[in-house]
Structure 1
C-alpha cells in the first residue's frame, strides 16, 4: 500500500444473523478459535491509518464486552451502536460522524468492510486500496466470480466493462441473476464523495432498507469513476450467514494455519486431521500426528512430538517434549524433556518441570511435578507440590478435599512412594522419605523416615481349601434342588397334552 492517503475504516457488525439460528451475535461465532469479528478488526487496524469504527447492533452488549476484553489487539477503535438495523447504508451513516470528527487530521478515504468475512487477507485489502488510488476512482469495490452466486449482490457492468451498479439478489431480474461476478461488500470511498452520498440514500428496494450499494449509481451519475478490484480467490470473500458457511470458513482458516506452520518447519503426517487455532505457536522440527488439537494461546517448543488424538488448550510446552496418544492438557505448563501420557489428563495449574514424567491414566490438578520426578500409573494428584527425583507409585491419590475446603500436599525431593498410597491433605512428606505400599498417610512423615500404616498380615493354614469344599457342596445341593423343582421338558409336554384332551 502506498500510504499517500489517510484511510479510516468502518466495520459493519450489527446484523442479527437469523440464519445462524443462534442466541450468540453472528460476529462472535468462532473461526479457528477466534470470533470472526477479531479477523475484521485486526485487519482493518493494519490497513487503516485513521479511526476504526465498529458498528454493532444485535447483541451489542455482548459484542462490546468482547471488544473491551480483546482491545489490545486492535486499538485504537470506536464502537458505534446502530439501534435499528435498517441496512448497510444506514450503518455507514451511523459511523460516518465518528470517523470525521477529528478536524485536525481528516481521512482522505474510507475502507468499508463487513464483520462476517474472516477469510479476507491483508494483501487483498492493501491491493484494493492501492488500486483505488492508482485508478483515481471516487469509489472502488471488491468483487469476485463464484460458481454459485445465489443470494449475493450482482455487479452490473456496461458494454465497455465499467461498473454501473450492484443489484441485490432479491431485487435482481432473471437476466441479472445470471451474472456470476458478485459484490463482496468491501469498498474504498473518497471522503469528498461519501458524506454527500450518504445524505441522499433512500430505502428504494424490496427490503425497505438503506443500501450502501446505492452510492455506486450516485457516483456514476456524478461522473466519478467506479473501479472494481477482482480477487481470484472467491473462497477468501466468503460471508458467514449459516452454520454451513461457518464450517467452510473454519476448514479454510485451519488449512492456512497448517500450511503456514509446515512452511516454518513443523511436520504434520496428515494436515487435514490436525486442528490448530489461530494464535497458536509451534516450533520447528516439532511433529504433530493425526487427531492433534492445539487450542487457544498454546505455545509448543522445538523438536517436540505430539501423538494422535491429544488436545492442548492454553498450554506452554518447552523443547524436546514427548506427548503420547490421547492426552488432554488444559492451562498446563510442560518444561523441556518431559514425557506425558498416554491417556494423561493435566487440568489447569499443572506444571511439569524438566524431564518429569506423567504416565498412563494419571490426572493432575493444580499440581507441580519436580525435575526428573515420575507419576507413571493410575494416579490422581490434586493441590500437590512434588520435589525433584520423586517416584510416585501406581494408584497413589492425594485426598485434597474434605467436603468443605481444599488442602495441599507437599512431597519433598528424593521421596519414594509405593503403590496404592493415600495422602490425606494437608500433609508433608520429608526429603528422602519412603512410603510403603498400601499406606494411608494422615500425618507428616519426617525426612528419610519410613511411613507405613497397615494392619499385620495373618495367614490361616488350610482355610482356603475348606472354603472351596464348602462352596463346592453348596453348589451341588443347589443344582439337585433345581432339577427336582423343574420337570423334564417331555413330562411337561405330556401333562399339557392331557389337559387338552376331552373327558
Structure 2
C-alpha cells in the first residue's frame, strides 16, 4: 500500500488522567518501563513514524509531567484543566495545532506497546483511502471495559459505543476501540465543538466523532490488527508487569537478531536505550540499565550490573561486577566481584 502525499503529520498524546488503579502518588504515564517512562515509549513511536509535531495533553500532575519530558526536543504541551472526556482532551490540543492542515495521529500515553510499524500502517491506510478518520481496532475474546466498534460493510465505522452506554447486543461485539486514530485535521477540528455530553458519564467522547462522520455520509474506516497485546492500556501494576515483560522480550529478540548472544535470555534484563555490539556474549543474570553501551566481541559475566556505563570493545567482565557511570576501556579484563564507578 502506498500512502498519498499529505501536508504533514502531527501527533496528539492524551496523558491527562491520574490512573487511580495504579495505587501510586506518581501519575501513571511516568511509571518506568524497561528503563524509561511509559509515555516516552509512545513519544518515540510516533516520532519514528514521522510526526513533525507532538502535542502532549496533560492535566493531573501537569507540572510534573512537563518537567519529566521537558528535555525532549519539539514536544508541545496542552493543558486539560478538568477531565471532561477524550473529546474534550483533543479540543484542548486544538489551539496548539491551529492552522495545521495535515493528518493527526491520536493515541494514549498509557499504551507503550504500540509499535512504529503499526502506527505507520494506520497512517498509510488513512492516506491511501482518503478517509476523514481511520481507527485502529482489534478483536478480543473478553471485551469487558472496552468501547465496541459497530461497523458497516466491514470496514466503515457506524459508531463506537462505550461499555457503560451499550445495550446487550452491542456488548456482545468483540471488535474494540483501541483509542488510536488518524484524523484529517481540517475535517475533524470543526466537529470537536459539536461533540455531545449526553451519556452516562456526562463527558465529551472522542468516539462520537466517528458517528458524526457516518451521519454526514463520510464514515471513517477501521484498520484492524491481530495481536491485542500491542494496544493494551496500562491501568494497574499487573498490566504494568505484563508490558514490562513484552518490552524486554522485544529488546532481547532485537539484539539477538543484531548479533548478540544471550546464554539465558529470560534471566537477562536490558533497558530500551542500551546499545550492545555484535558478537558480544551475555551470561545469565545480567542487568544493563539506562543509556549504557557495550562494544562488540565483549563478554559480560554472570550476575553483573551495568548502569549508564560504557564498556569498550573486547572487554571481559568475569562476573558479579557492578559498573556504574564510568567507562571500561577497550580490551580490559575486570575480575570477579570488582566494582567500578560511582554508586
C-alpha contact 1:142 1:229 (8 A) present in aligned 2: yes
Query: Structure 1 residue 36 and structure 2 residue 34: aligned?
Result: no
Q: Tell me the equivalent position of 2:90.
A: 92
Matches within 5 A, 1:275-354: 275-348=269-342
Q: Tell me the equivalent position of 1:57.
A: 59
Shift of 1:306: 1.1
Shift of 1:176: 2.0
| Residue 187 (structure 1) aligned to one of 181, 187, 197 | 181
Shift of 1:277: 0.2
Aligned-partner Cα distance in 1 for 2:266–2:335: 24
Matches within 5 A, 1:102-117: 103=99, 106-117=100-111
Shift of 1:48: 4.4
Matches within 5 A, 1:189-338: 189-338=183-332
Task: Tell me the secondary structure at the aligned position of residue 150 of structure 1.
Answer: coil
Aligned-partner Cα distance in 2 for 1:147–1:326: 45
Task: Tell me the secondary structure at the aligned position of residue 261 of structure 1.
Answer: helix
C-alpha contact 2:264 2:284 (8 A) present in aligned 1: yes
- Flag structure 2 segments of 5+ consecutive residues without an equivalent: none
Shift of 1:166: 1.1
In structure 2, do the counterparts of structure 1 residues 193 and 299 end up closer, same or farther at CA, with 3 Å as the change threshold?
same
Cα RMSD over matched residues? 1.6
Shift of 1:185: 0.3
C-alpha contact 1:50 1:107 (8 A) present in aligned 2: no
Q: Tell me the equivalent position of 1:494.
A: none
Q: Across the two proteins, how many residue pairs are aligned to each other? A: 341
Question: What TM-score do you get using the length of structure 1 for normalisation?
Answer: 0.65
Aligned-partner Cα distance in 2 for 1:54–1:281: 28
Shift of 1:304: 1.1
Aligned-partner Cα distance in 1 for 2:245–2:51: 31
Aligned-partner Cα distance in 1 for 2:322–2:142: 41
Q: Tell me the equivalent position of 1:78.
A: 76
What whole-Å deviation, never above 9, does each CA across 1:402-461 have from its counterpart, x for those lacking one? xxxxxxxxxxxxxxxxxxxxxxxxxxxxxxxxxxxxxxxxxxxxxxxxxxxxxxxxxxxx
Shift of 1:50: 4.1
Aligned-partner Cα distance in 1 for 2:338–2:297: 21
Shift of 1:49: 4.7
Mean CA deviation greater in 175-184 or 239-248: 175-184
Larger Rg: 1
What whole-Å deviation, never above 9, does each CA across 1:44-75 have from its counterpart, x for those lacking one? 2233454321101111111100111x31xxx3
Query: Structure 1 residue 21 and structure 2 residue 15: aligned?
Result: no
Task: Tell me the secondary structure at the aligned position of residue 253 of structure 1.
Answer: helix
C-alpha contact 2:157 2:211 (8 A) present in aligned 1: no
Question: What TM-score do you get using the length of structure 2 for normalisation?
Answer: 0.95
Task: Tell me the secondary structure at the aligned position of residue 187 of structure 1.
Answer: strand
C-alpha contact 2:3 2:125 (8 A) present in aligned 1: no
In structure 2, do the counterparts of structure 1 residues 237 and 97 end up closer, same or farther at CA, with 3 Å as the change threshold?
same
Aligned-partner Cα distance in 2 for 1:61–1:14: 11
Mean CA deviation greater in 309-318 or 185-194: 185-194
Shift of 1:241: 0.9
Higher relative contact order (CA 8 A, sep 6+): 2
Q: Tell me the equivalent position of 1:12.
A: 14
C-alpha contact 2:260 2:276 (8 A) present in aligned 1: yes
C-alpha contact 2:3 2:128 (8 A) present in aligned 1: no
Task: Tell me the secondary structure at the aligned position of residue 303 of structure 1.
Answer: coil
Task: Tell me the secondary structure at the aligned position of residue 168 of structure 2.
Answer: coil
Matches within 5 A, 1:126-141: 126-141=120-135
